[in-house]
């Protein structure tokens, strides 16, 4: 005999024949239990088939909206940076043009000095030509 049988030999059995008869009707009705389990499985599958795509769609929309809300300011910052770089490049071009204008002004001043020197040379050459003409006129008289 097993330990439980020898140990519990003096205690009356709580499971009566009448109790077993009532329980056995519930346990023996396998078709009803199987139908109940199948109905529960079908209702759970129907619920999942209906609500999971809706949940996924809602999460996708929320993710899109949050992504747009997060990345839109970043895009405007990128646009601002591109515009500032463009403006900076334009300003640098203006500064370079200003340097070119200053260089042109310096070159123009140097050319004016050279023209004045050429004018002085022209005056001296005319004076020499006049002197030479005057000498030739004296000689021919």
For the chain (141 residues), the mean pLDDT of every run of 10, in chain order, is: 57 74 67 88 92 92 85 80 86 77 83 86 87 85 69
- Give dist(CA 70, CA 51) in Å, integer: 28
| Per-residue tokens: 9 | 């030999």
Q: Per-residue pLDDT tens for 33-46?
A: 889 899 999 999 99
| Per-residue tokens: 2 | 């097993």
| Per-residue tokens: 35 | 């139908």
pLDDT at 135: 85
Show me where the domains of the chain are located: 16-108
Classify burial at 134, counting beta carbons within 10 Å of its beta carbon; exposed 0-12, middle 13-18, buried 19 or more.
exposed
CA distances from 58 to 52, 62, 65, 72, 106 (A): 10, 6, 11, 21, 71
pTM of the model: 0.36
């Amino acid at each position: 005999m097993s330990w439980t049988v020898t140990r519990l030999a003096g205690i009356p059995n709580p499971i009566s024949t009448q109790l077993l008869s009532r329980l056995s009707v519930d346990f023996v009705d396998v078709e009803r239990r199987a139908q109940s389990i199948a109905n529960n499985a079908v209702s759970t599958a129907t619920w999942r088939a209906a609500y999971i795509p809706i949940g996924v769609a809602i999460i996708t929309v929320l993710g899109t909206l949050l992504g747009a809300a997060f990345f839109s300011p970043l895009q405007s910052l990128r646009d601002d940076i591109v515009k500032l770089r463009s403006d900076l490049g334009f300003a640098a071009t203006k500064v370079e043009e200003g340097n070119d204008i200053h260089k042109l002004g310096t070159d123009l001043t140097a050319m004016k000095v050279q023209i004045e020197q050429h004018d002085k040379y022209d005056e001296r050459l005319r004076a020499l030509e006049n002197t030479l003409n005057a000498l030739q006129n004296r000689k021919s008289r």
